[in-house]
Amino acid sequence: MSVDEGRALRLLLVEDNPGDARLLQEELKEVPSVRFEVRHVTRLADAVQVVEEPGLDVVLLDLSLPDGHGLSNIERLLQASPALPVVVLTGTDDEQLAVKAVHAGAQDYLVKGQVTGPLLVRALRYAIERKRAEEGLKREEAARQTAVFREQFLGILGHDLRNPLQAISGNAALLLRYGGLSEPQRKAINRISISSDRMARMISDILDFTRTRLGGGYSLQRSWVNVHDVLRQIVEELEVAHPQRRFELSVSGTGWGDWDADRIAQATSNLVGNAVQYSPQDSAVRVVARDEGDGVRVEVHNMGTPIPAERLPHIFDPFVRGGEGARSGSRTGLGLGLYITHEIVKAHGGSVQVRSTEAEGTCFWLKLPRHPPPAKS
């Protein structure tokens, strides 16, 4: 990267001595190949205000000002604008002070009275270049740390928490299968089994969230899939879990597409699961699939208290949950279901939308293009 050729460089000159300030500005004009737009202030307090505005390229800072003296001048400026390159002006040829200034965050120093135009311009340009390189390194370091954090976090969720949980649910299932339990014992172990399954689902939702939020995203395992089959299976499973509920599944068209079957099952089952969870016991949950354009459309509909209009624009955000819509006694989740559905559909190049009113109930529908969008070149 090089300092932008052609454009005038915006310099803030912080210098209280009028003679020195004039001299420096004249020296700058000695180098016609680089243009400077100079803003001149005489007090540190004014400088601190100016650097907070965007657009400056570099600061030339006198270390002895009426309202600030020495290295603390550098610190105060950098506190206000940490990414700004600063070149300091010292009154004497004091090597020690210069070193300290650089330690305090200045890019370079110049000794008053010894400054020539070319020297000044070079110092300012190098200061800009060096600061940019430093900022680039800082960004890389931050990205690296995020990646390390992500790996640790995914590791904790994926192995450290999931493995013991699998032991709990596996052994609970085993005990139930052995039989010979008293009724209270069977009930207790059944609760252990249900709760650990629920926790396992939450952990995999948080894993999905972490993957999408901290980079990585979904890697889809596409194959030729029929969404009608996927929906039939989901509805059957929910019928088993909620034998008292009424489900209406109606499919038409072909239903075929190039999708990740497990992810599509996850996305649609979040919707159908919500429809069951957030509607009255005696109402039906309706699922409709049909071909539309070059893809399919899946609608999931339920009655019950609508989602308040002011929550609709945020309904696909992570950790949005609750509200009076939930049936009393129903367990609340993490508020990740719709977020994950949205991410999965997006990864497939599709879209998901919602409409919710008192009269018509709540309807989520998603559109899935049959084929992946052409790769961007």
Ligand X SMILES: Nc1ncnc2c1ncn2[C@@H]1O[C@H](COP(=O)(O)OP(=O)(O)OP(=O)(O)O)[C@@H](O)[C@H]1O
Other residues' Cβ atoms within 10 Å of the Cβ of residue 203: 17
Q: Which stretch binds Mg ion (CB under 5 A): 126-134, 266-274, 287-295, 356-364?
A: 266-274
Kindly list the distances between the CA atom of residue 297 and the CA atoms of 39, 166, 228, 281, 340, in Å, as whole numbers in the listed order.
Answer: 60, 36, 11, 26, 18
Residue 334 binds: one of Mg ion, ligand X, none (C-beta under 5 to 8 A by kind): ligand X
Binding flag, residue 320, ligand X (CB under 6 A): yes
Taking the least distance from each CB to Mg ion, the nearer of 155 and 322 is 322
What is the rounded distance in angstroms from the CA atom of residue 215 to the CA atom of residue 355? 30
Binding flag, residue 323, ligand X (CB under 6 A): yes
- Read off the DSSP letter of residue 312: G
Binding flag, residue 276, ligand X (CB under 6 A): no
Helix, strand, coil share of the chain (percent; to 5): 50, 20, 30
Which one among 88, 115, 238, 338 touches ligand X, defined by CB under 6 A? 338
Q: Which stretch binds ligand X (CB under 6 A): 15-23, 54-62, 208-216, 333-341?
A: 333-341
Helix/strand/coil for 297: strand
**Residue nearest ligand X, CB atom distance:** 333
Which one among 120, 307, 344, 352 touches ligand X, defined by CB under 6 A? 307
Query: What token pair was written down for 214?
Result: 């901290």
Taking the complex as a whole, the smallest distance from the CB of residue 273 to Mg ion amounts, in Å, to 6
Q: What are phi and psi of 67, to 5 degrees?
A: -115, 25
Binding flag, residue 268, Mg ion (CB under 5 A): no
What is the rounded distance in angstroms from the CA atom of residue 315 to the CA atom of residue 302? 16
- Read off the DSSP letter of residue 253: S
Looking at residues 343 to 362 of the shown chain, list those that interact with ligand X (rule: CB under 6 A): 362
Which one among 81, 212, 274, 362 touches Mg ion, defined by CB under 5 A? 274
Sequence-separated (6 or more) residues with CB below 8 Å from residue 238 = 245, 247, 269, 272, 273, 276, 285
Q: Give residue 192's identity as a one-letter amino acid code.
A: I
Binding flag, residue 274, ligand X (CB under 6 A): yes
Binding flag, residue 205, ligand X (CB under 6 A): yes
| Contact (CB, 8 A) for 60 and 40 | no
Taking the complex as a whole, the smallest distance from the CB of residue 362 to ligand X amounts, in Å, to 4
Which one among 70, 91, 158, 335 touches ligand X, defined by CB under 6 A? 335
What is the rounded distance in angstroms from the CA atom of residue 105 to the CA atom of residue 72? 11
Q: What are phi and psi of 239, to 5 degrees?
A: -65, -40
Taking the complex as a whole, the smallest distance from the CB of residue 271 to ligand X amounts, in Å, to 7
Which one among 68, 337, 350, 361 touches Mg ion, defined by CB under 5 A? 337
Note the Cα 251 to chain centre separation in Å.
Answer: 37
Taking the least distance from each CB to ligand X, the nearer of 87 and 235 is 235
Binding flag, residue 315, ligand X (CB under 6 A): yes
Taking the complex as a whole, the smallest distance from the CB of residue 206 to ligand X amounts, in Å, to 9
Binding site for Mg ion (CB under 5 A): 274, 333, 337
Binding site for ligand X (CB under 6 A): 205, 270, 274-275, 278, 302, 307, 315, 320-323, 325-326, 332-339, 362
